[in-house]
Amino acid sequence: MSIALITGASSGIGAVYARRFAARGYNLVLVARAVDRLNDLAAVLRGTYGVEVEIIPADLVDPAQIEVVSKRLRSEPPIEVLVNNAGAGLLGGFATVDPAEMERLLRLNVVAPTLLVSAVVGGMIARGKGAIINVGSVLGLLPEYAPGIYAATKSYVLTMSQSLAAEVSSKGVYVQAVLPAATRTEIYERAGGDISKIPNVMEVDDLVDAALVGFDRKELVTIPPVPDVEAWDAFEQARGVLAQGFSNSQPAARYRA
Q: Which residues are catalytic?
A: 150
Task: Give 165-174's long-range contacts (Cβ < 8 A, gap of 24+).
Answer: 165/220, 168/121, 168/124, 168/125, 171/125, 171/128, 172/124, 172/125, 172/127, 172/128, 172/129, 172/130, 173/121, 173/124, 173/125, 173/129, 173/130, 173/131, 173/132, 174/130, 174/131, 174/132, 174/218
User: Is 256 within 8 Å of 243 (Cβ atoms)?
Assistant: no
In contact, 99 and 52? CB cutoff 8 Å: no
